[in-house]
Amino acid sequence: MARDPVIEGFVPAMERALDEARQAFDEGEIPVGAVVLDASGEIIGTGRNERERSADPTGHAEIVAMRRAAASLGEWRLSGCTLVVTLEPCTMCAGASVQARLDRVVYGAVDPKAGAVGSLWDVVRDRRLNHRPEVIAEVMADECAALLIEFFAHRRVR
């Protein structure tokens, strides 16, 4: 089967996001990782879930990565940037990606229970919004899902 060159282009960034997710796993956080790429493809922000550690309900990987990217750029607008995340964003993170004016959202595993980028909801492509990022779904989906499955399997054993 032919490989999609667009998806293949995001594999290195997804691998870096998976590294962040693995660190979250090791820290007892739900293993979701994210990176933000600038227009040239350089990583300008990284993040992993840190809700437990920070006692912050907004401590999702995407929010952390977007905050770091905005700090790196010195502005809140992330125009020209791409968010790469291991799990389909929730409504909060999908909304934040619209508000940040990201050009693109790339995600790995589909989240049928809380996904807001095409699964349960489709916040980022709502025609009523003034900005709609491009979506590239299921990049390294199996690898991203496997880490989450492993995490929750360990949690159930305890």
Q: What is the pLDDT of residues 25-50, one digit of tens each?
A: 999 999 999 999 999 999 999 999 99
Q: How many CB atoms lie within 10 A of CB 109?
A: 25
The yes-or-no answer on residue 62 being catalytic is yes
Distance in angstroms (rounded) separating the CA atoms of residues 118 and 120: 6
Which member of 62, 134, 138, 143 is catalytic? 62
Question: Is-contact 62 85, C-beta < 8 A?
Answer: yes
**DSSP string of 60-95, one letter each residue:** -HHHHHHHHHHHHHTSS--TT-EEEEEE---HHHHH
What's the mean pLDDT in 62-67? 98
Q: Is 154 known to sit in a ligand binding site?
A: no
β partners of residue 48: 33
Could you tell me which CATH class the domain 5-156 is placed in?
alpha beta
What's the mean pLDDT in 118-146? 96
Q: Is 60 known to sit in a ligand binding site?
A: yes
* pLDDT tens-digit map of 50-61: 999 999 999 999
